[in-house]
Structure 1
């Protein structure tokens, strides 16, 4: 059975990118499943406003609570939030539906380039104009935003996110749940510890310990952001 219905778990400001990428791949976003109450900030766009805009491009996705969700055979699944804490959401989903083989989709924008020698795990997203080099390995639910380059033979751990315009050199090892913010640059052959946060525009020229917040050019340690 060909699956062309995409279900997104959770809401975030990145939903428009996911919707756009789904359209570009001929998929229909059929349902958005909320696991937490939506609390949009002053400069955010609410889910209802997004849905109203999407109505011009096809059927509006159904919105429902996770407690009311039941999987269907013709669906693919994707996590909507991009924060590393979405690992908790994946665990909750899998625990709720142990008897269903939920298929997390690897969603790649048609204007991205992913080397045939790269390996992408389930749930990975790659945005428009991004390049994933040969030998790169992206773990479960890694989120690669627009205009990113990932160098050859670099490994990125599960639930990490790489924000727009970032450049990650080759032969590096990026840990689990790492954030590389907008426009950051990492030279090659680096080791970045789990849960590290590299700030916007930072230039990283040396290894980073787990949970370190790094800012500036060159990037310097500011504090630990390890989850409590």
Structure 2
């Protein structure tokens, strides 16, 4: 029986986390399918570098383009970007191929059997999802994140390394909780809100706003 093959649509600086998780689960890394030209910043690593690092593990992924892509057997599909292009790319894949997105969970993470993960969710190493947690489609949970019981996270949100969400909270769609930030229990975070790194949120945050500080205060509207 063939091993599952990970196919990543799009790329970003977190694509190595997907590769790492695939290797930890014993999956092959099959392809990266691009839909836009790669943008490599001054302090970024290119996709070519990230792919070259896989060679010692016997992995030689192909780079493809959406206009040439043909689905194959035993493939698991995930999104690579965490920017707003994530939703755009998900819609493109759904329209062209109606492919089922997988969930990918690192073996060192704990996901309660009473939690529910929608298609396209990624859960990184050493993260903990409590009972009653519900993650919407394409939520990205990075390394060392804690999500308390009965908390709901909307589609396309991203929880960055070391962030913590208290129980019984609700995060809307497209929310970012940055590195080391904390959202206390029973709070409501609106769609598109951005919680700054290291912030401690003690009150509800309106949609499309930026909350920073300890305790966090809304400083300005987030960019659309």
Coarse TM-score class (shorter-chain normalised) = over 0.9
Question: Do residues 93 (structure 1) and 90 (structure 2) align?
Answer: no
Normalized against structure 1, the TM-score is what?
Answer: 0.95
Q: Which consecutive residues of structure 2, in runs of 5 or more, have no partner in the other structure? A: none
Give the one of 117, 120, 135 matched to 2:117.
120
Counterpart of 1:159 in 2: which secondary structure?
coil
4+ long deviations beyond 6 Å = none
Aligned to 1:178: 175
Cα deviation digits, residues 162-214 of structure 1 (max 9, x gap): 00000100000100000000000011000000000000001000001000011
Aligned to 1:62: 62
Residues 134/2 of structure 1: CA separation in 2 closer, same or farther (3 Å cut): farther
Q: Aligned-pair RMSD on alpha carbons?
A: 1.2
| Greater CA drift, 1-10 or 70-79 | 1-10
| Greater CA drift, 174-183 or 1-10 | 1-10
Q: Which consecutive residues of structure 1, in runs of 5 or more, have no partner in the other structure? A: none
The question of whether the paired residues in 2 share the 8 Å contact of 1:3 and 1:76 is answered with: no
Q: How far off its partner does 1:24 sit?
A: 0.7
Cα deviation digits, residues 24-43 of structure 1 (max 9, x gap): 11111100000110111000
Normalized against structure 2, the TM-score is what?
Answer: 0.97
Question: Do residues 207 (structure 1) and 204 (structure 2) align?
Answer: yes
Question: Do residues 18 (structure 1) and 18 (structure 2) align?
Answer: yes
Q: How far off its partner does 1:49 sit?
A: 1.1
Aligned to 1:7: 7
Distance in 2 (CA, whole Å) between partners of 1:26 and 1:130 is 19
The question of whether the paired residues in 2 share the 8 Å contact of 1:148 and 1:167 is answered with: yes
Q: How far off its partner does 1:68 sit?
A: 0.7
Counting matched residue pairs gives 224
